[in-house]
Structure 1
């Protein structure tokens, strides 16, 4: 399995696989911002918009593939304001249902954390559905819970669910992170 960062052309070249992954993730019940059923055309349209954000430098996207099949992805929304150039938002960590349980989510998470630190970012944040398998992944990877917001977003079935906010300091020596925390 390979994990690689995509440029705009890479997102476009893998559009069908990325759209299939997004539709599979939603069909599997993951709350990633879409209601079920999510059709391939809608998922492909969403990814086309991400290609434009990659080209504009507002989004970094990594993809995991087994051969030509897309099995996972993660993105990092990059700062666009002068007072936030030190932080980024981890968005849309997705692993296909058939690839779950093999460490791919952890590998994608580590990839984005390392890339953020290498780019000079020192703080990452995210939100995830409270009680989801993703929440367990973030806690076990050293992310810190910041709080929970009730009825934040609808899950794929349309039911309002709480979300939990997490953050993680990256690219900061452990002693400095402990003092800051």
Structure 2
């Protein structure tokens, strides 16, 4: 059975190797999540471990979907750092292993972040994703509003510039 877990900084370090495997698989299959292929597994693990300080400081929240010790998905919530933006946060790094897609994990991770954000008084979420990606379907079905697309905004894992679509979702005040 898959469970969605909000991880602490020490847990993030513990899961870093599993999360690195997920990140490498995601990049290898062509998803644009900020990295170019080929992505070294150890470099991916270091990247995750480096997030522990931000998690500990409350600047970033990270959730994983796991079955036992195996991480099958992840999502992050990045809080806005400026005083006039405390009401909003960015959703980032929604990833589901290619072998685990189509089972509702992406939506479950997104629901967990939205529920947490609401409980924290966050009333506006933003995110971006590669235009035309499967992730867009998840966001649209979850009630996110498309703002627009920017051509050539980010490179895909092969290094080709692709358009990015931006979304927002307003949450009810707690």
**TM-score w.r.t. structure 1 length?**
0.93
Q: Distance in 2 between matches of 1:82 and 1:68?
A: 38
Report the equivalent of 1:99.
100
- Aligned partner of residue 14 in structure 1, secondary structure: helix
Q: Which aligned segments of 4 or more residues in structure 1 are displaced greater than 4 angstroms?
A: none
Q: Distance in 2 between matches of 1:49 and 1:170?
A: 30
Report the equivalent of 2:48.
47
**TM-score w.r.t. structure 2 length?**
0.97
| 8 A contact 2:127–2:168 mirrored in 1 | yes
Q: Distance in 2 between matches of 1:83 and 1:61?
A: 23
Unaligned stretches of 5+ in structure 2?
Answer: none
Report the equivalent of 2:89.
88
Report the equivalent of 1:22.
23
How many residues are treated as equivalent by the alignment? 173
Q: Distance in 2 between matches of 1:134 and 1:27?
A: 16
Q: String of CA shifts for 1:14-65, please: whole Å, max 9, x gaps.
A: 1110111111110111100001111111101110111111012110000110
Unaligned stretches of 5+ in structure 1?
Answer: 174-181
Q: Distance in 2 between matches of 1:156 and 1:172?
A: 38
Report the equivalent of 1:170.
171
